[in-house]
Amino acid sequence: HPSLLFEHTSRIKDALQGFLLLPAPVALGLLLALWPLAAAGRRDLGDYLVMLLRKVMFAREAGSRLVAVRGFLFILLQQLRAAASSAGVEDDERAAAAAAAAAAAAAAAGPSFSQASCSQSSLSQMQALTSGAGVSLQHELQGFLRRALGQQAAVRSALYEGLSAILLADPGSRDVVLELVAPQFYRYVTEGAALPPLHCRLLVSGGGGGGGGYGSGSGGGSETVTLLEPLPALLACVRRVAGLCREAMVAAAVAAGEEEAAAAAGMPGVLLEEDEAEAGGGAGGGDVLMVEEEEEEEYGGGRQRQDQGADLAVKDLVRTWDGLARRLLRCEAEHFDMNCAADLNPAVASGAARQLQAACLLGAIEVAMEELVDIATGPGGSETAARSGERLARAFELHCRLHDLAREAKAPAGGSKAKPAATEAAAGSAADGSGGTAAGAGAAAGTTAAAAAGGGGSAKRPRELCPDLIPADSRPPALSAACLAKLCSGVLRDG
């Protein structure tokens, strides 16, 4: 009974004055608990919560800014779902009224053919997304989330995950999300068909290169290493946008009566061979098209862009994503300068940086694997089963190799330069593609402690050296629950 609390709204607002003083999980929980009250009819409380989140976005603590981003995305999703629910009710009522009117007209005029139709507007244009003074909440979204793109990696990771959820609730937000994530995506993709397809060194700050590379003789000090870009979350969001773009391209080709173009647009680029991609196969036709720094303004133009420019942006994103996924599956660990476990020693800055890069690459491979699983289990999956199965096996082999290297990495005892025994174990597991042994998994449990003990008296502990570092065995996967369920179902069915 939210109405019982309406008379206490002023006291609730007073209690929210200490919002910034609360721990981040408690603050987010308070916001989630109060939003149903705001959605039940107290518009002033909802506006107050949005204003509060704007203030929190400028807080000094990264945890508070993370709460602001998650809270704002939660409010937006609630608005979208409410709009979808009300639109469904209105459509049912409109269809019933139209059917009744058509029946009455048919009875009065005699036999005739009539068809009632109604157009459902995109959730992006519905009244539920308009907050007072005629300000579109989607405009608020763009301004707020553009500021979030300049925050720490944890904040941007929450942003990308929230944008993926928004696309599920409102596919009409595709262009808005594309404008937000496309410049970030293009920044890390290498040009042409060269390997590797990613600028991995731009993902990390520290480790001897400050985000721009590793010095030949540096990396053994106590420099703090920081993750700059949560690549798996970014790629997962881009993959969802590219899927919506591909569907729009197929629909446009079908509407124009171009069956061959529709078939080409519907062919996932990750399944093409390089010669097929260069010949113009797939949705984008050709290979990767890069966006220079001065061209990024084209993607930020929003509504001022012409239809031709919007279509070009859509095709570029699909082509770039397809080219990235295709090239990633052709890579070996050595393409990313990860030759042995000793290179990923978490007790030194260069090794910690490579550990972060390995985690990003593992997530990127998992996103590509989810793309392949969706293709194999989607419409027409049986027609491309051989190709998708081959590429899925290739992705799994690369994933196992990188995971073994990251898991087996240890600090040399006493700071010596001797190659650890884990190097040979990782090399052996990579040779047969087995993904490691139980003994290796047991040894990995003590990786952090061993690295801390072996770095010498002046060395930082791995967690202090790199606060963003998570051991390979503890890293959360980038695969969605639905994808994991499909994989498990396939294993149970086929063995």
Instruction: Supply the pLDDT for residue 261.
Output: 72
Q: Look at phi and psi of residue 280 and say left if phi exceeds 0, alpha if psi is from -120 to 50, else beta.
A: left
Single-letter amino acid code for the residue at 23: P
Write the CA distances from 6 to 13, 36, 48, 474, integer angstroms.
11, 12, 14, 45
Instruction: Supply the pLDDT for residue 83.
Output: 72
221 CB-contact burial (10 Å; exposed 0-12 / middle 13-18 / buried 19+): middle
CA count, 13 A, side-chain hemisphere, 358: 35
Along the chain (495 residues), what's the average pLDDT of each consecutive run of 10 residues?
73 79 82 79 78 84 86 83 63 51 42 34 42 48 80 91 89 87 94 89 77 43 82 95 88 78 72 63 49 43 51 89 93 89 83 92 96 87 84 94 88 44 39 39 38 43 78 89 88 76
3-state secondary structure of 101: helix
3-state secondary structure of 189: strand
Residue pair 314/179 in contact by the 8 Å Cβ criterion = no
Give the β-pairing of 204-205 and 135-136: unpaired
Instruction: Supply the pLDDT for residue 274.
Output: 63
Instruction: Supply the pLDDT for residue 1.
Output: 64
Cα 369 versus chain centre, distance: 14
Residue pair 342/423 in contact by the 8 Å Cβ criterion = yes
Instruction: Supply the pLDDT for residue 87.
Output: 56
Residue pair 6/41 in contact by the 8 Å Cβ criterion = yes
pTM greater than 0.95: no
Which structure tokens are listed for 103? 């029946």
Write the CA distances from 132 to 37, 43, 77, 127, 128, integer angstroms.
18, 9, 18, 11, 11
Instruction: Supply the pLDDT for residue 495.
Output: 62
> Phi and psi (nearest 5°) for 52?
-65, -40
